[in-house]
Chains A and B, each alone.
Chain A
Amino acid sequence: MSELISELDAGGMHAPVEPVDASHGILLYLEGVSVTFDGFKAIDNLSLYVADGELRCVIGPNGAGKTTMMDIITGKTKPDAGRVFFGQTIDLLQLDEPAIARIGIGRKFQKPTVIEPLTVLENLELAMSGAKRLRGLLTTRLAGAERDRIAAVLERVGLTAQAGRLAGILAHGQKQWLEIGMLLMQEPRLLLVDEPVAGMTPAEMERTAELLKSLAGEHSVVVVEHDMGFVRSIADKVTVLHQGRVLAEGALEDLQADPRVIEVYLGDGHAAG
């Protein structure tokens, strides 16, 4: 009971948060992952490796399995087969969503999900790592160091002037940045970002691209995105998913020349864009 009270957060009952071992240069391993929903193979023997500090874009037509892949990495969906490792040692399939969040995987939803009745500052405070035990939660104050961390993230996502405003009245693009800021408060090693620029103005897209590029290196970033122009502006390496598998992987220019890719996806993209 006392354990239960002191452990509102995650990480298992006693397991200390294990440091991620990315000594082989790879931060995220997906190997032979499959998942079936009612007979439909959403993910089919998928293998994907994300390097430490890499900025990776994942593209693919609707139903290619992009969101399901994120659900598997973050513990929302358990695959039928395959292995998912964070670094050399952490088996993500053994952990649930809060535990995975705590070891350093942050997820941004497709629809911006911020807590609208709270202020921007309170949203960031809510996301702050290291404050999720009951004793840490039963306080109404912010320590000086915590204030500094929040101020740094506000600066980084460009919302310093909005700190005291309610998240609900922010513009669409600002909500997306706030959510990215919330991920940063978790101090993640890996950020999973689902369609960050959907519905953004060109100016907002440009700022988002700058932000995501500045995060790579320090963090690994996986961006799922439909907007080809945006993908071109940020990615060094692109993975194309199709019918739950990796169809092709590499630089965007090479992929655009790949006939298989053109057939399933980019052909349409070119025609439209």
Chain B
Amino acid sequence: MRVPSWLRSDRAGLALLAVLAALALVVPALNLLVAADHPLHLSAYTVTLLGKYLCYALLAVSVDLVWGYMGILSLGHAAFFALGGYCFGMYLMRQIGARGVYGDPVLPDFMVFLNWTELPWYWLGFDQFWFAALMVLAAPGLLAFVFGWFAFRSRVSGVYLSIITQALTYALMLAFFRNEMGFGGNNGLTDFKDALGFPLHADSTRIVLFLLSALALAGGYLACRWLVSTRLGRVLVAIRDAEPRARFLGYRVERVKTLVFAFSAMLAGLAGALYVPQVGIINPGEFAPLNSIEAVIWVAVGGRGTLVGAVVGAVLVNYAKTWLTGALPEVWLFALGGLFVAVTLLLPRGLVGLLRRRGATA
């Protein structure tokens, strides 16, 4: 098999793919083949934690595509992640069937609790895996498309656009909190049992979900890397650095932005859909504005406009978060804010930029 030239020159990307491939071999082996009392054994908890990091990394890649390459600082990308999560969560809810607390064969528990007698129309079809899988991409993609269509056509950009994206995710959070919306309100969707007949709590299912997350990240990375190495990728950079120039060269800047924004939202949705079965719950808190800001910080820490940096940043910051929220929970937000300030001031190109500079001077 020949490696195409756009990938051959991407050494950092090849390294990332190699690491993912190694993880895909080592993690299942350490979980399934090594005895539980052996020090090298990886618990199901750790496997799921790693899978979560990979989902965050895919979200970060989607943010980097629009921010790093097209110059759109989206502070609402977690909304697309959460929407994808809700779509897959709806499938998982329908899979519960009559095993819920109230034993209703069709209605999820929270609907029975609200005295609903019928499934709302927008829940129809979500008992089918293929339909839910399609919606995981279509719902965030469509929202981003409509949002982008209006925002970019009105030439809203810069900080104003960032503020509207915050408003978007905040509005969605408030909407999903309402019980009448039919998405479980405050509690969200949870108590999932199985997907495609595989019990979610089984180690083997967790391993498969981890592998799927690694695969999705590798695929998402490759898709974005390919995109930015095409001519369209150069158009994105032109839009980022000199939007009027791109327009006077004859490019329909609004359409490029809308399409790439929608594509990025679909990647974020996919990440959310893989995240939900691993953590076992999706609630409106996932729409919190802070989540979107955190995703931007991951990208900034790793290095904006590098794609690999987004992955590195997402994994490192989340590892730090897991550790700090366990050890010193009250410190975490200060640490996150401090990290963002420090990276902006000291490492404008992020960790990957730092490594490249080291590499260049060595």
Contacts and interface: CB of A to CB of B under 8 A. Distances in A.
Interface string A127-157: 1010110101111100000000000000000
A76 B245 CA distance: 12
Interface stretch (A1-9, A22-30, A35-43): A1-9
Contacts of B238: 115, 118, 126
A109 B247 CA distance: 12
A120 interface: no
Nearest to B6: A140
Contacts of B232: 134, 137-138
Interface string B79-116: 00000000000000000000000000000000000000
A101 B230 contact: no
A4 B249 CA distance: 19
Nearest to A122: B234
B349 to A, nearest CB: 12
A contacts with B: majority SS = loop
Interface stretch (B127-135, B250-258, B296-304): B250-258
A97 interface: yes
Interface string B206-236: 0000000000000000000011011110110
A138 B247 contact: no
Contacts of B230: 137-140
A106 B245 CA distance: 10
A102 interface: yes
B245 A113 contact: yes
A190 to B, nearest CB: 13
Given A9-B252, A140-B5, A131 B231 contact: yes
B264 to A, nearest CB: 16
A98 interface: yes
B245 A139 contact: no
B191 interface: no
Contacts of B231: 125-126, 131, 136-140
- Pairs of residues from A and B, 10 with the lowest C-beta to C-beta distance, nearest first: A101-B250, A137-B232, A102-B250, A113-B245, A137-B231, A97-B247, A115-B238, A107-B248, A98-B250, A140-B6
Given A98-B252, A140-B230, 18 more contacts: A5-B259, A8-B255, A8-B259, A9-B252, A76-B244, A97-B244, A101-B247, A113-B242, A113-B245, A114-B242, A115-B242, A117-B237, A118-B234, A134-B232, A139-B230, A140-B226, A140-B229, A140-B231
